[in-house]
A and B are shown apart, each in its own frame.
Chain A
Amino acid sequence: MSHPLPRTLSWDWHPGAIPENVVYDQTAYLETSYSFLLCRSQAAAAVQIGRGTSIYLGVMFDVGPRGNVRVGDYCLLNGARIICDSEITIGDYCLISWNVVLMDTYRMPVDALKRRGELESLPSREPRRASSEFPAKPICIERNVWIGFDCCVLPGVTIGEGSIVGARSVVAEDVPPFTVVAGNPARAIRHLEPSESAGAHAPTIQQSNDSTI
């Protein structure tokens, strides 16, 4: 019934392919397979990308062997680095801008002595890459969240529905729904009326494979 999705992109500058366990809706736009260069998850559906979502240049899915990333519908990701060893969920209608780092793990033991052990074993690995075996805490970005330039979202954080994270913020704690946070570390600076988003509907878009929307 369903067509197998293409694993290479006709407009791609990078000579790579999209891994088989990246499941994307046929209405999603993927700018380049380079975004999946660091995706080494063994999960059946390691990265899921929803309807009408755009993944632009510079987005990197740095997903460890057990990592799982889900991106909802009508999301816009532009230059984010997604470091995932457990689970990162991004809801529908999320806007995530340049140089944002979403990390569910530090990829190193917090304890200095254990970190030494890890660093000593690193040079004998091929490729030399930090292990994905360290505790990771899932990140959840709920629907309709907007994350500004250069933000970092630290392990274990949930950002509630409809919230906004100002540019260059570092989100170390959960953000309640419909809240504007900003700063480093991020603090609530304003509340948004949930009703303001009540009228948000996905526009009916004629299904099209044309990427130039």
Chain B
Amino acid sequence: MSTKPDPQNEPKPSPRIAGRWTDGDLPPNVRLGPNTVLTAHYAFKRFFSRENDALVIGAHATMDGVHFAVGEKARVSIGDYCYFTNALLLCELEIRIGSYVVIGWNATVADTDFHPIAPAERIADAIACSPLGKGRPRPDIVRKPVMIEDDVWIGPNATILKGVRIGSGAFIEAGALVTRDVPSRARVIGNPAQVIGQVP
């Protein structure tokens, strides 16, 4: 048998190889790596980013029922072999997630509080957000990037708030509310999340 590849018989890449969204056409500034699959018809209902490469997901990832609520100037990047089920990603600046990250049911990752803290500013914000607030500028709101490193496990109903960096291999227990950085390989639980041990 000839070892020379015959271009006629060369296998064409199957549609499975390219990343795809099962429920529609991807927005132009979304890139999915090979064999990455994204489900949920509402995945991009709140995807408003105008950035180039606003959402980049690596290869072999599974995004099952994930909601990408991404603001106009925000960017999300996700590595290879990630597995998210029904997670909610709320991004107004930047969320960066490594490879081999697992995010469980109903978990939320947010890089902003969405509203200001000062009472007077909050009133201004409520008016600006209302149907009567057309054109009014919203006050500045704190945004801080969220970084989730490789091999992190995030349990069901957990919440990760703005500015947090979760070190590689950390284990975020179900329902934990993470407000501060988590060291590598730490196991955290609670509201606010506290380190209760190490991953074996």
A interface residues with partner B (beta carbon < 8 Å): 81, 83, 99, 101, 103, 106, 108, 110-112, 115-116, 119-120, 122-123, 128, 130, 150-152, 154, 168-170, 172, 183-185
- Residues on B with C-beta less than 8 A from A106 are 153, 155
Query: Does B77 lie at the interface of the complex (its beta carbon under 8 Å from any beta carbon of A)?
Result: no
Smallest Cβ-Cβ distance to B156: which chain A residue? A101
User: Which interface residue of A115, A116, A168, A184 has the most chain B CB atoms within 10 A?
Assistant: A184
- Residues on B with C-beta less than 8 A from A123 are 35-37, 60-62, 81
Query: Does B163 lie at the interface of the complex (its beta carbon under 8 Å from any beta carbon of A)?
Result: no
Query: Does B200 lie at the interface of the complex (its beta carbon under 8 Å from any beta carbon of A)?
Result: yes
> Would you list which residues of chain B between 36 and 69 have a CB under 8 Å from chain A?
36-37, 60-62, 64
CA distance A112 to B185 in the complex (A): 9
Smallest Cβ-Cβ distance to A81: which chain B residue? B105
CA distance A101 to B171 in the complex (A): 18
Question: B200 contacts which of A110, A128, A150 (Cβ < 8 Å)?
Answer: A110
CA distance A206 to B175 in the complex (A): 41
CA distance A169 to B190 in the complex (A): 9
Q: Mark B150-183, 1 if CB is under 8 A from A, else 0.
A: 0101011100000000001101011111000000
- Residues on A with C-beta less than 8 A from B29 are none
The reply to whether A184 and B177 contact each other, CB–CB distance below 8 Å, is yes
Query: Does B102 lie at the interface of the complex (its beta carbon under 8 Å from any beta carbon of A)?
Result: yes
The reply to whether A99 and B157 contact each other, CB–CB distance below 8 Å, is yes
CA distance A101 to B156 in the complex (A): 8
CA distance A111 to B105 in the complex (A): 20
CA distance A110 to B173 in the complex (A): 11
Smallest Cβ-Cβ distance to B151: which chain A residue? A112
* Chain B interface residue count, Cβ-Cβ cutoff 8 angstroms: 33
Smallest Cβ-Cβ distance to B86: which chain A residue? A81
CA distance A168 to B190 in the complex (A): 10
Q: Mark B64-104, 1 if CB is under 8 A from A, else 0.
A: 10000000000000000111000000000000000010100
**Distance in Å: Cβ of B165 to nearest Cβ of chain A:** 17
Question: Taking A106-B155, A119-B100, A130-B83 as contacts, is the C-beta distance between A152 and B62 under 8 angstroms?
Answer: no
- Residues on B with C-beta less than 8 A from A184 are 175-177, 189-191
**Distance in Å: Cβ of B170 to nearest Cβ of chain A:** 9
Question: A110 contacts which of B64, B157, B199 (Cβ < 8 Å)?
Answer: B199
Question: B102 contacts which of A115, A168, A172 (Cβ < 8 Å)?
Answer: A115
Question: Taking A101-B105, A122-B62 as contacts, is the C-beta distance between A116 and B81 under 8 angstroms?
Answer: yes
User: Can you show 19 pairs from A to B with CB atoms below 8 A apart?
Assistant: A83-B156, A101-B157, A101-B174, A108-B102, A110-B153, A110-B171, A112-B168, A115-B153, A119-B81, A119-B83, A120-B81, A122-B81, A123-B37, A123-B61, A150-B157, A152-B155, A152-B157, A169-B175, A184-B191
Question: A152 contacts which of B37, B102, B153, B175 (Cβ < 8 Å)?
Answer: B175
**Distance in Å: Cβ of B166 to nearest Cβ of chain A:** 13
The reply to whether B151 and A116 contact each other, CB–CB distance below 8 Å, is yes
- Residues on A with C-beta less than 8 A from B102 are 108, 115, 119
**Distance in Å: Cβ of B14 to nearest Cβ of chain A:** 13
